[in-house]
Amino acid sequence: MSAGAMAKVGSPSPVWRRVRTVLSYGLLILLALTFIYPFLLALTTSFKTLPEINADPVGLIPSMWTTEGYARLIGLNVGRWFFNSAFIAVIVTVSNVIFAGLAGYALSRIKFPGSNAVFLALLGTMMIPGIVLLIPMFMVLRLLGMVDAYTGLIVPKMVTAFGIFLMKQFFESMPVEIEEAARIDGASRLDTFFRVALPLAQPAVIALVIFSFQGSWNDFMHPLIVITTNTELYTLPLGLAFLRGGIGQNLQWNALLAGSMLTTLPMALIFLFFQRYFIEGISYGGVKG
């Protein structure tokens, strides 16, 4: 038997290839629908009336579209919650990029006695569950007068161990020669960082921006322990928790899910537009140990 005939015998038939392709795509579509359906259900339920939600809680298409859930949110100071979440998330994100970038750059470029020990200690803090630190953090914030204040919501989150780790790993993957050329031209260490190193670290910076913004935007436990009496400082997650347990006798599902959409959609859009940089930054961070 010739080689061509043997190859033909060993290869799958065109019919089987088409069947395999259809099955593969069918499985992928089924998995995609499994993950997308809860989000679509929450989105459409936010436009339902309360009687329809109670009568058909899992129906995807409302029989009558209404914005009463969103209108109810407007009357519950949701604009203030949204502003607080955005204000805190922006400041936390910018400070994380600056401080984590500076710390990561120092650990990767400046070798000083004990630098490895500092880095290992930093990694050690990442292994401590955040829930363990809630009470000590509250006691420190109360001692400093930061309870029921923006400072208590922002200052503890201005730099994270993960951000320093991510930036350090990225800077170590960058060639030193570019920075050395800038130093020869008379740039200081700080100028080299802001004008050369940080712009070149764009993938890691964008990944850190997404992580920091998402973490601050979705944070519930930290605002919960910091805000004790001042409801004007409520963030969206905390406000939604109030919405779940504080509206009359019955749970207003359409208003609650409308608030959930306001919380979810900004992060979904950010990740959708910047996912390429996000994946690139994470892959760079894991290249060099």
Residues whose CB is less than 8 angstroms from the CB of residue 44 and which lie 6 or more positions away in sequence, other chains included: 60, 61, 62
Give the integer Cα–Cα distance in Å for 263 and 9. Answer: 56
Give yes or no for a contact between 160 and 100, defined as CB atoms under 8 angstroms apart.
yes
Give me the residue label for tokens 């129906």.
59
Task: For residue range 35-53, list pLDDT tens digits in order.
Answer: 888 888 888 888 888 888 8
Q: Give which of 275, 150, 171, 168 is closest to 216, Cα–Cα.
A: 150
Task: For residue range 120-171, list pLDDT tens digits in order.
Answer: 998 888 888 888 888 899 999 999 999 999 999 999 999 999 999 999 989 9
Helices 253-285 and 78-109 meet at what angle, rounded to 10?
Answer: 10
The residue extents of the domains of the chain are 77-285
150: enclosing H helix or E strand = helix 150-154
Reduce the DSSP state of residue 56 to 3 states and report it: coil
pLDDT score recorded for residue 154: 95
* 77-285 CATH pick, 3.40.1160.10, 3.40.190.10, 1.10.287.3510, 1.10.3720.10: 1.10.3720.10
pTM (2 decimals)? 0.79
State yes or no: pLDDT of 93 exceeds 70. Answer: yes
State yes or no: pLDDT of 102 exceeds 90. Answer: yes
Average pLDDT over residues 59-84: 84
Task: For residue range 218-261, list pLDDT tens digits in order.
Answer: 999 999 999 988 889 999 988 888 777 654 446 778 888 888 88
Give the integer Cα–Cα distance in Å for 240 and 234. Answer: 9
Distance of CA 249 to the CA centre of its chain: 34
Give yes or no for a contact between 212 and 92, defined as CB atoms under 8 angstroms apart.
yes
Helices 253-285 and 161-172 meet at what angle, rounded to 10?
Answer: 30
In the chain, how long is the greatest CA-to-CA distance?
Answer: 87
pLDDT score recorded for residue 147: 92
Task: For residue range 177-223, list pLDDT tens digits in order.
Answer: 888 888 888 888 888 888 888 888 888 898 899 889 989 999 999 99
